[in-house]
Amino acid sequence: MYTLPNKLKLFAIIFMVVGAIGIVTGFMMAPKTTSEVKEMMASDHGDGHGGDHAVAADSHGDSHGEASHGEAAHDDEAHYEHVLHQMQNRPWSALYIASFFFFMIALGTLAFYAIQYAAQAGWSPVLFRVMEGITAYLPVASIIIIVLLLLSGFHINHIFHWMDPELVDPSNEHYDKLIAGKSSFLNVPFFLIRAVIFLGGWNLYRWVSRRNSLRDDNAEDNRWFKKNFKASAMFLVFFIVTESMMSWDWIMSFDPHWFSTLFGWYVFAGMMVSAITVIAMVTIYLKSKGYLEHVNDSHIHDLAKFMFGFSIFWTYLWFSQFMLIWYSNIPEEVTYFVTRIEDYKLPFFGMVVMNFVFPVLMLMNSDYKRVNWFVILTGIVILAGHYIDVFNMVMPGTVGASWSIGIPELGSLFFFFGLFIFVVFTALTKAPLLAKHNPFVKESKHFHY
């Protein structure tokens, strides 16, 4: 049995407290009126930074800018109001991005876990309890996500632009024909119902598989394993459908004028690579503390291979999406990348280096995949890269050019990191770290590559 060290508990709590302070500060820093925006922008002008932002915000950021563009181009006040909305969105977006990032780690781990069951993998059963520990964050993350979506649904914040009822009202001056055309899918009640169905299904599988896995420990036969096998196969079908829709709802709808068919796969790839990286990192950590006696170099090697492979898979999808749109250059699609390349140049291309070039070079060598600190180092870069990936997907649609990585972003990141560590490692103490009766566990103990 694993016991939660007090030091780790303290570490997690410190992150949560510091993060919470950061989140609150972020909300307090957000401007309330346009005059505050003017002040902030005036003080920014000193370093020539605010100027860029003002110009950039003026020329695009269309997803939110419809209203101000629709009026008169010379209207200064409309511009400041536009920036005000972006700045007010920033702490909400930061919160949303960080909560989604850790949520997708838990969900990706659950999918990976289901794949291991359904594929009857012989190498991974010694890691099942680690994966179950990570997926223990899923219920917590689900509650946070649903609360955030409800807050958006009740117009406490305006990060989901399409939720604004003015846009679908034909008599309103802000009427948006494109969004109105999508409103049979993108409307708040249906959106929330879908969210509940997705989260309910995923949490149900998580609960069932964990329960069966614990019952299997004391079982005489393989009854619980077979149940889990079937549950995993069914979950994977459910997952791939709902994951795709979830990515339209929770990520793609930030840019409600834009659409991409492989978006679900793209989000999935990022999810899987982050999840596998976290599995590898938690495994290495627990192994280094002497808790996973049956885990050897070859298990780490396999996880590192998955990190390597899924990093390339993610890049493949990133590039496919980018290149198809860049190549055909259809205005209604290409604005998505135009805003990102103009306003988010460094994060947009930086993440390709972090998520592709770095892991490919670091993990190509077979020997390096067995070196723990190599895997940890690469893992940190991959996770940072995928945080930026989510950042790039969400921020341009909500805050446009008024982005930065500062107190609100880091605060949210710290808070959810602390919460994640706390929940995951507490869950690891709840059950023995070896699924002892699993039919493949003996093979897994002797696994070598």
Partner 1 sequence: MASKVIHAIYNDDDILLHAVKQVRGEHYHIEEIYTPFPVHGLEKAMGLADTRIAITSFLYGLVGLAVAIVMMNYIMIQDWPQDIGGKPSFSYLENMPAFVPIMFEMTVFFAAHLMVITFYMRSKLWPFKKAENPDVRTTDDHFLMAIDTGNHDVDEMTKFLYNTGALEISLIENDEDDH
Minimum CB separation of residue 116 from partner 1 in Å reads 24
- The answer to the question of residue 319 lying near partner 1 (CB under 8 A) is yes
- Classify 136 as helix, strand or coil: coil
- The answer to the question of residue 366 lying near partner 1 (CB under 8 A) is yes
Please provide the size of the chain in residues.
449
As given in the structure block, the two tokens for residue 75 are 């209207």
- The answer to the question of residue 308 lying near partner 1 (CB under 8 A) is no
- The answer to the question of residue 364 lying near partner 1 (CB under 8 A) is yes
Q: Whole-angstrom Cα distance, residue 289 to residue 166? A: 57
Provide φ and ψ at 7, rounded to 5°.
-60, -40
154 CB burial (10 A radius; 0-12, 13-18, 19+): exposed
Q: What's the distance, CA 317 to chain centroid?
A: 16
User: How many other C-beta atoms lie within 10 A of the C-beta of residue 231?
Assistant: 18
- The answer to the question of residue 323 lying near partner 1 (CB under 8 A) is yes
- The answer to the question of residue 329 lying near partner 1 (CB under 8 A) is yes
Minimum CB separation of residue 341 from partner 1 in Å reads 12
The CB-side HSE value for 240 (13 A sphere, CA atoms) comes to 10
Minimum CB separation of residue 417 from partner 1 in Å reads 35
Nearer to partner 1, 23 or 325 (CB): 325
Beta strands in 231-363 (DSSP E): none
Tell me the number of residues near partner 1 by CB under 8 A: 8
Minimum CB separation of residue 328 from partner 1 in Å reads 10
Range in contact with partner 1 (rule: CB under 8 A) among 24-32, 114-122, 316-324, 434-442: 316-324
Q: Whole-angstrom Cα distance, residue 72 to residue 79? A: 10
Nearer to partner 1, 272 or 352 (CB): 352
Range in contact with partner 1 (rule: CB under 8 A) among 210-218, 286-294, 319-327, 437-445: 319-327
C-beta separation of 291 from 433 below 8 A: yes
Q: Which of 100, 250, 308, 322 binds partner 1 (CB under 8 A)?
A: 322
Nearer to partner 1, 329 or 429 (CB): 329
Residues of the shown chain interacting with partner 1 in the complex, contacts defined by CB under 8 A: 319, 322-323, 326-327, 329, 364, 366
